[in-house]
């Protein structure tokens, strides 16, 4: 362990107000993955960087983005011993500065995700040797600085792991991950953890947007005039609005699912599935689908009201025309009668 390199990597991402642009960032992927992997996953663009002193060392805050509006702030801090509670203080300082940057870009912190990666590389022997520090590993992964975890909870946390070679190991949890690799090849794992957090953030954003759209559609239905009668211009406008709400929501969910499916069934897919399972991504997806069904129901109500309204208008027009026709016939009969009685 004396020769091992140890790092704290913090990831913070959030939805910002401005549209992001820049040169495409290409991570170094070495482990087994499909040939189309690099083309399939969402691209990062390089926004810039800032330098800040943390724990007595100069730390670079790399600013990258997922277009159009998700900013990622990533830092890497070299540490002498990652298995110490002093890491919590470094982690806190890193996030404090990262959140400051995120606010400068106009982020609503409600739509942000933070994630810590603890990397141990360039060691000799099996990675299981580091499980002697299982208590602090579990505490760091669960962000529990002062609480002593139950042994069963510690073991449950350490069970969420995956191996690619016989001398590497990744342990993944909700707040963070430990990556052990003797060659320092952690780029793909880091990329997949970032992607899993991105998908979680986008699902949360979409869920919030659908809630707002459901509220809007409920208002449209509630504010419909008695009998569902609209002027023709108003009818077209409200139909267009409900159709747009429905189609945009469906399109956004399909895009999220497509990005993940293209990863394939290699090591990258198994690693991602483990992370996505901890983030409850599938539960978020099911909740969104349920709300899309509610959107569909609201859309159907709007269509039904518009259809009934149009049918009623046609029926009333027919009645009025028939009444006018009867008056016309009566007028002709009166004229004929007057003509013959002269």
Q: What is the pLDDT along the chain (342 residues), one digit of tens a residue?
A: 557 899 999 999 999 988 898 888 876 655 555 555 566 677 889 999 999 998 888 999 999 999 889 999 999 999 999 999 999 999 999 999 999 999 999 998 889 999 999 999 999 999 999 999 999 999 999 999 988 899 999 999 999 999 988 899 999 999 999 999 999 889 888 988 998 999 899 889 888 888 887 787 777 666 665 555 555 565 566 666 666 766 776 776 676 666 665 565 567 778 888 998 999 988 988 888 888 777 777 666 666 666 555 555 666 676 777 667 767 676 777 676 666 775
Whether residue 266 is found in the same domain as residue 223 = yes
Domain of residue 180 covers 5-194
3-state secondary structure of 58: strand
Give the model's pLDDT for residue 213. Answer: 77
Whether residue 174 is found in the same domain as residue 271 = no
Element (H, E) at 145: none
Whether residue 238 is found in the same domain as residue 152 = no
Whether residue 188 is found in the same domain as residue 212 = no
Using H for helix, E for strand and C for coil, what is the string for 178-203?
A: EEEECCCCCHHHHHHHHHHHHHHHHH
Whether residue 118 is found in the same domain as residue 247 = no
Element (H, E) at 25: strand 23-25
Respond yes or no on whether the N-terminal peptide bond of residue 68 is cis (omega within 30° of 0).
Answer: yes
Residue 331 lies in a domain: no
Whether residue 162 is found in the same domain as residue 222 = no
Whether residue 190 is found in the same domain as residue 229 = no
Whether residue 280 is found in the same domain as residue 142 = no
Give the model's pLDDT for residue 254. Answer: 72
Cα Rg, the chain, nearest whole Å: 31
Q: Within a 13 Å sphere around the CA of 82, how many CA atoms are in the beta-carbon half?
A: 27
Whether residue 29 is found in the same domain as residue 176 = yes
3-state secondary structure of 317: helix
Whether residue 159 is found in the same domain as residue 243 = no
Element (H, E) at 47: strand 44-54
Residue 137 lies in a domain: yes
Whether residue 85 is found in the same domain as residue 127 = yes
The whole-model pTM stands at 0.79
């Amino acid at each position: 362990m004396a020769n091992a390199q140890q790092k704290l990597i913090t990831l913070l991402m959030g939805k910002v107000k401005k549209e992001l642009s820049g040169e495409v960032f290409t991570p170094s992927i070495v482990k087994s993955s499909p040939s189309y992997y690099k083309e399939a996953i969402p691209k990062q663009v390089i926004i810039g960087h800032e330098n800040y002193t943390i724990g007595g060392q100069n730390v670079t805050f790399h600013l990258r983005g997922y277009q159009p509006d998700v900013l990622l702030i990533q830092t890497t801090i070299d540490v002498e011993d990652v298995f110490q509670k002093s890491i919590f203080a470094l982690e806190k300082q890193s996030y404090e500065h990262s959140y400051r940057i995120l606010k400068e870009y106009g982020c609503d912190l409600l739509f942000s995700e933070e994630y810590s990666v603890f990397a141990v590389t360039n060691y000799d022997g099996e990675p299981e040797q580091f499980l002697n520090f299982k208590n602090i590993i579990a505490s760091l992964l669960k962000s529990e600085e002062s609480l002593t975890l139950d042994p069963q909870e510690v073991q449950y946390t350490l069970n969420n792991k995956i191996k690619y070679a016989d001398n590497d190991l990744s342990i993944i949890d909700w707040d963070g991950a430990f990556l052990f690799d003797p060659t320092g090849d952690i780029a793909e794992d880091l990329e997949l953890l970032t992607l899993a957090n991105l998908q979680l953030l986008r699902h949360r954003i979409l869920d919030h947007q659908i809630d707002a759209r459901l509220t809007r559609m409920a208002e449209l239905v509630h504010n419909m005039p008695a009998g569902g009668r609209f002027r023709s211009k108003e009818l077209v406008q409200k139909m267009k609005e409900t159709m747009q709400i429905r189609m945009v929501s469906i399109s956004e969910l399909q895009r999220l699912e497509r990005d993940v499916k293209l990863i394939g069934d290699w090591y990258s897919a198994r690693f991602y599935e483990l992370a996505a399972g901890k983030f409850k991504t599938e539960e978020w997806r099911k909740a969104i689908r349920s709300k899309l069904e509610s959107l569909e129901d609201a859309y159907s109500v709007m269509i039904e009201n518009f259809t009934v309204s149009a049918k009623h208008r046609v029926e009333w027009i027919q009645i009025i025309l028939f009444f006018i026709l009867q008056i016309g016939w009566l007028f002709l009969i009166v004229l004929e009668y007057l003509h013959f009685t002269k």
